[in-house]
């Protein structure tokens, strides 16, 4: 080969090296994201969900149809602050996640399945779905398919209320999908404000975590913030719709960011607000919003972030109600009432990895101590692990074995036995390790 030909060949090699790979090869870990907020259209006459005492109940069940959507509980009496659903769509070339946060007491598997069907009917790529209830005790009721929980806290299922809520959530996802654009993300976790207290005389987790989502130019797309707090700053005497402190904080964040702020509760089983009442809610919410905004300001983002998902089905023991935990301490520990089909015998856990951080859903209220155990167990596989509590399903409280046998409200609502909390925690840790292997399923 002549010197001239060698020069041409060398130049060709250089040019070929400069030609970019295909979009799929170049951007396997490049993210697209969109987010949206939609008001929950709560029909007039809908009761609130969360408290079962007489302050919320009708004097007698509404056997004569005086109220269009209430049976056991009094209808709500106006709006204290808007209740909403927020959606965040995250996707790469291989993976798509739809993350929903809603101002609801909880969601069961049937409600989550209806959302999945609504999204499927609307078309679009298949996605892993996470529906995170904020756990406000002043959100709408009458949408839960459970006779037992209907009697205790949420009122019986009303198709009009349920379908209105599902429709609004599906619409939030549709709008988030329409708003999708290239995105950079970052994750930060740090000690959050000391605004909570324990219910069972044990330390509680006050970690504040955020997932920051921005455009390549740095404009906010959404923030997902994770903190453990019960939505009980407003007591049972409140009959107005409210997202409680988490909802008010999210509205404050949105005013600052001009982008949706999705709240995801943590290991909330034994975590209550340290302060209560309408007068305290605004300053506590402002402190939470300020902490989220401070975290946002110092969270770096990256243009290429692996997005992974994995799910697993967990079989549960037969549910039983402990009369000793619920009625009287002097009753024998083994005296229980079978709950039959009132609670499911299986559930699903979902793990989502964003870069070197991971969230795992818990279908109920996990005790802080178990949440810390979950994080430690997932730590070898992930730099940061977070709990997405009260998500996709609701199976009650999950406590440590020692606290599950001590008579209390939370132990009464732990219906799968003393070992159920550790069972769920082990399954979540195992799922996190499977997710770290790098296979989406």
Question: Over the stretch 169-188, which tens digit does the pLDDT of each residue have?
Answer: 999 999 999 999 999 999 99
Residue 20, in any domain of the structure:
no
Q: What is the pLDDT of residues 235-288, one digit of tens each?
A: 999 999 999 999 999 999 999 999 999 999 999 999 999 999 999 999 999 999
Backbone angles phi, psi at 403, to 5 degrees: -85, -20
**In b/e form, how buried is each residue of 414-436, taking b as 16+ CB within 10 angstroms?**
bbbbbebbbbbbbbbbbbbebbb
Q: Is the pLDDT of residue 123 over 90?
A: no
pLDDT tier at 16 (50, 70, 90 boundaries)?
Answer: very low
Q: What is the rounded average pLDDT for all residues in the chain?
A: 92
**Domain count of the fold of the chain:** 1
Angle made by CA atoms 217, 36, 349, in degrees to the nearest 5? 105
Q: Is the pLDDT of residue 28 over 90?
A: no
Residue 5, in any domain of the structure:
no
Q: Is the pLDDT of residue 388 over 90?
A: yes
The whole-angstrom separation of Cα 84 and Cα 440 is 31
pLDDT tier at 105 (50, 70, 90 boundaries)?
Answer: very high
Q: Which domain holds residue 342?
A: 26-436
Q: Residue holding tokens 């692996």?
A: 306
Average pLDDT, stretch 375-397? 95
Looking at residue 231, its pLDDT comes to 97
pLDDT tier at 83 (50, 70, 90 boundaries)?
Answer: very high
State percent of the chain over pLDDT 90: 80
Residue 208, in any domain of the structure:
yes
Residue 9, in any domain of the structure:
no
Contact indicator for 424, 314 with CB cutoff of 8 Å: yes
Residue 362, in any domain of the structure:
yes
Looking at residue 109, its pLDDT comes to 93
pLDDT tier at 336 (50, 70, 90 boundaries)?
Answer: confident
Residue 21, in any domain of the structure:
no
State percent of the chain over pLDDT 70: 93
Residue 14, in any domain of the structure:
no
Global pTM reads 0.91
Angle made by CA atoms 331, 335, 336, in degrees to the nearest 5? 130
Residue 356, in any domain of the structure:
yes
pLDDT tier at 26 (50, 70, 90 boundaries)?
Answer: low
pLDDT tier at 334 (50, 70, 90 boundaries)?
Answer: confident
Q: What HEC string does the chain produce?
A: CCHHHHHHHHHHHHHHHHCCCCHHHHCCCEEEEEEEEEECCCCCCCEEECCCCCCCECCCCCCCCCCCCCCCECECCCECCCCEEEEEEEECCCCEEEEEEECCCCCCHHHHHHHHHHHHHCCCCCCEEEEEECCECCEECCCCCCHHHHHHHHCCCCHHHHHHHHHHHHHHHHHHHHCCEEEEEEEEEEECCCCEEECCCCCCCCEEEEEEEECCCCCEEEEEEEECCCECCCCCCCCCECCHHHHHHHHHHHHHHCCCEEEEECCCCCEEECCCCHHHHHHHHHHHHHHHHHHHHCCCCECECCEEEEEEEEECCCCEEEHHHHCCCCCCCCCEEECHHHCCCEEEEEEEEECCEEEEECCCEECHHHHHHHHHHHCCCCCEEEEECCECCCCCEECCHHHHCCCCHHHHCCCCCCCHHHHHHHHHHHHHHHHHCCCCC
Looking at residue 329, its pLDDT comes to 85
pLDDT tier at 18 (50, 70, 90 boundaries)?
Answer: very low
Q: What is the pLDDT of residues 147-173, one digit of tens each?
A: 888 888 999 999 999 999 999 999 999
Q: Is the pLDDT of residue 124 over 60?
A: yes
pLDDT tier at 330 (50, 70, 90 boundaries)?
Answer: confident
Q: Is the pLDDT of residue 7 over 70?
A: no
pLDDT tier at 12 (50, 70, 90 boundaries)?
Answer: very low
**Of 25 and 236, more confident:** 236
Q: Is the pLDDT of residue 54 over 90?
A: yes
pLDDT tier at 327 (50, 70, 90 boundaries)?
Answer: confident
């Amino acid at each position: 080969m002549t010197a001239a030909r060698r020069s041409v060949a060398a130049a060709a090699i250089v040019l070929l090296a400069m030609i970019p790979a295909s979009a799929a090869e170049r951007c396997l870990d490049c993210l697209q994201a969109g987010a949206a907020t939609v008001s929950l259209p709560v029909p007039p006459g809908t009761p609130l969900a969360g408290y079962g005492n007489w302050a919320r109940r009708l004097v007698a069940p509404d056997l004569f149809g005086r109220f269009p959507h209430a049976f056991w509980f009094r209808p709500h009496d106006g709006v204290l602050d808007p209740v909403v659903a927020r959606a965040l769509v995250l996707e790469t070339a291989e993976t798509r996640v739809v993350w929903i946060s809603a101002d609801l007491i909880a969601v069961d598997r049937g409600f989550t399945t209806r959302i999945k069907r609504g999204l499927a009917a609307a078309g679009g790529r298949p996605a892993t779905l996470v529906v995170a209830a904020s756990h406000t005790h002043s959100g709408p009721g009458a949408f839960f398919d459970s006779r037992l929980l209907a009697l205790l806290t949420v009122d019986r299922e009303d198709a009009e209320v349920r379908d209105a809520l599902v429709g609004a959530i599906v619409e939030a996802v549709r709008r988030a999908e329409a708003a999708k654009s290239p995105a950079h993300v970052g994750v930060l976790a740090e000690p959050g404000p000391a605004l909570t207290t324990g219910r069972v005389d044990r330390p509680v987790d006050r970690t504040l975590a955020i997932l920051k989502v921005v455009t390549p130019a740095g404009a906010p797309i959404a923030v997902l913030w994770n903190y453990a707090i019960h939505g009980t700053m407003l007591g049972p005497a409140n009959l107005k719709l409210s997202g409680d402190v988490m909802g008010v904080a999210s509205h404050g964040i949105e005013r600052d960011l001009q982008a949706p702020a999705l709240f995801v509760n943590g290991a909330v089983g034994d975590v209550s607000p340290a302060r209560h009442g309408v007068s305290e809610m605004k300053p506590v919410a402002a402190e939470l919003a300020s902490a989220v905004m401070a975290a946002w300001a110092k969270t770096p983002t990256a243009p290429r972030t692996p997005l992974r998902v994995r799910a697993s089905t967990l079989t549960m023991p037969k549910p039983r109600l402990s009369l000793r935990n619920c009625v009287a301490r002097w009753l024998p520990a083994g005296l229980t009432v079978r709950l039959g089909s009132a609670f499911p015998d299986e559930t699903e856990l979902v793990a989502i990895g964003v870069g070197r951080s991971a969230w795992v859903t818990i279908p109920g209220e996990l005790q802080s101590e178990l949440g810390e155990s979950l994080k430690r167990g997932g730590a070898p596989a992930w730099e940061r692990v977070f709990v997405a509590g009260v998500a996709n399903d609701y199976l009650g409280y999950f406590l440590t074995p020692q606290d599950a046998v001590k008579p209390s409200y939370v132990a009464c609502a732990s219906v799968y036995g003393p070992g159920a909390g550790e069972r769920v925690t082990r399954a979540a840790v195992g799922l996190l390790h499977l997710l770290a292997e790098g296979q989406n399923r």
